């Protein structure tokens, strides 16, 4: 434990928290353009072919975004907004997949 004299000489330094999504620059969402859409395999314990896209954001940074469990991918694409299409013929959990209410 420091003495009062040591604290006067040099104050305690605050730890700065690292952001989990630095490319978004402290915004909840960012607009971007898909440069490449492809499939990839996830990290060690999981196994599948996941749909992934390389997206150039309006911040100028190009990131790998998951097209809605893929550990290691920080960014998710919002289906049904801007140039991404919603899932066809979906009737349940529509808001998660960007599907409009069907005409009755």
Tens digits of residue pLDDT in 47-80:
888 888 899 999 999 999 887 655 667 787 777 7
Full-prediction pTM beyond 0.85? no
Q: Taking the domains of the chain in order of start, what are their residue ranges?
A: 30-96
Instruction: Report the CATH superfamily, name and number, of domain 30-96.
Output: Nucleic acid-binding proteins (2.40.50.140)
Instruction: Give the model's pLDDT for residue 14.
Output: 94
| Strand, helix or coil for residue 62 | strand
How far apart CA 47 and CA 40 sit, in angstroms, is 10
Which position has the token pair 């499939």? 39
């Amino acid at each position: 434990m420091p003495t009062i004299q040591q604290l006067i000489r040099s104050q305690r330094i605050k730890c700065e928290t690292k952001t989990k999504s630095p490319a978004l620059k402290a915004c909840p969402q960012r607009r971007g353009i898909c440069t490449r859409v492809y499939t990839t395999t996830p990290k060690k314990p999981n196994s599948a072919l996941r749909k992934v896209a390389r997206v150039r954001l309006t911040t100028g940074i190009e990131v790998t975004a998951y097209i809605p469990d893929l550990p290691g991918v920080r960014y998710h694409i919002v289906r049904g907004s801007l140039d991404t299409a919603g899932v066809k013929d979906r009737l349940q959990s529509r808001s998660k997949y960007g599907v409009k209410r069907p005409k009755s």
